[in-house]
Chain A
Amino acid sequence: ETGVTQSPTHLIKTRGQQVTLRCSSQSGHNTVSWYQQALGQGPQFIFQYYREEENGRGNFPPRFSGLQFPNYSSELNVNALELDDSALYLCASSLDFSTDTQYFGPGTRLTVL
């Protein structure tokens, strides 16, 4: 096990709703990255937080937002859900954003109807 946990495991929402996904990083890991993995595809980088500040963002619209807290937990928020947002959402934590290995959680499966 990686020591990274995510909740909930599965979630069903309808189009237009808002959703919050949660991640608990390994203790001491200052960096958390979020990825979206569509079915049969590789994960796509959404954004990264380092010491509670956004530290880079992929090609995702502003309705994808995040927070990182001092207790090594973090959130991914998605507003105005679209059908294409249906995917596995993965968080990954690491000690540092530069050269350290990142450890992935098991993901949250989001279905948008």
Chain B
Amino acid sequence: QQQVKQSPQSLIVQKGGISIINCAYENTAFDYFPWYQQFPGKGPALLIAIRPDVSEKKEGRFTISFNKSAKQFSLHIMDSQPGDSATYFCAASKDSSASKIIFGSGTRLSIRP
């Protein structure tokens, strides 16, 4: 059973456009929702994270929107750049743990110049 469902599997966006990746979760005990960015040959790196007491968190061009009632959250990348081309994973954990993470299946993002 997939606890964190991520879509789309792949995404192509023009440079300067907005990239949107969506995730849904089942377990209402989850209380930490990070997004990770992974480049080929590298391990995942934490991009931005949110806890369910807020509905939105913004860091630079990256924004997480969180809908607790719908059990959904999404990543928005504004003014997408070719350097943003990578695989993005949404994830979730419970008990405020930032390290026992349940990952989604990933979205391969390509930014066209």
By beta carbon, the residue of chain B nearest A88 is B43
Interface residues of B, count at CB 8 A: 22
Render A83-113 as a binary contact track against B, CB cut-off 8 A, 1 for contact: 0000000101010011111111111000000
Cβ contact within 8 Å between B43 and A105: yes
Distance A59 CA – B84 CA, assembled complex (angstroms) = 32
Interface segment out of the listed A36-44, A62-70, A72-80: A36-44
Cβ contact within 8 Å between A2 and B100: no
By beta carbon, the residue of chain A nearest B108 is A40
B residues 8-42 touching A (CB-CB < 8 Å): 41-42
- Chain A residue numbers with a CB within 8 Å of B45 are 2, 103-104
Distance A44 CA – B89 CA, assembled complex (angstroms) = 12
Q: Does A56 contact B (CB under 8 A)?
A: yes
Q: Does A19 contact B (CB under 8 A)?
A: no
Cβ contact within 8 Å between A97 and B106: no
Cβ contact within 8 Å between A102 and B98: yes
- Chain B residue numbers with a CB within 8 Å of A98 are 95-98
Distance A106 CA – B41 CA, assembled complex (angstroms) = 7
Distance A56 CA – B96 CA, assembled complex (angstroms) = 14
Q: What are 25 residue pairs bridging A and B, where the CB atoms are less than 8 Å apart in the complex?
A: A2-B43, A31-B99, A33-B100, A33-B101, A35-B101, A40-B106, A41-B105, A42-B103, A42-B104, A43-B89, A44-B103, A56-B97, A58-B100, A90-B44, A92-B43, A94-B98, A94-B99, A97-B97, A97-B99, A97-B100, A98-B95, A99-B98, A101-B98, A104-B43, A104-B45
4 new A-B contacts, CB < 8 A, other than A4-B43, A56-B100, A104-B45, are A35-B103, A43-B103, A94-B98, A100-B99
Query: Residues of A with Cβ closer than 8 Å to B?
Result: 2, 4, 31, 33, 35, 40-45, 48, 56, 58, 90, 92, 94, 97-107
Query: Residues of B with Cβ closer than 8 Å to A?
Result: 4, 6, 41-46, 89, 91, 95-106
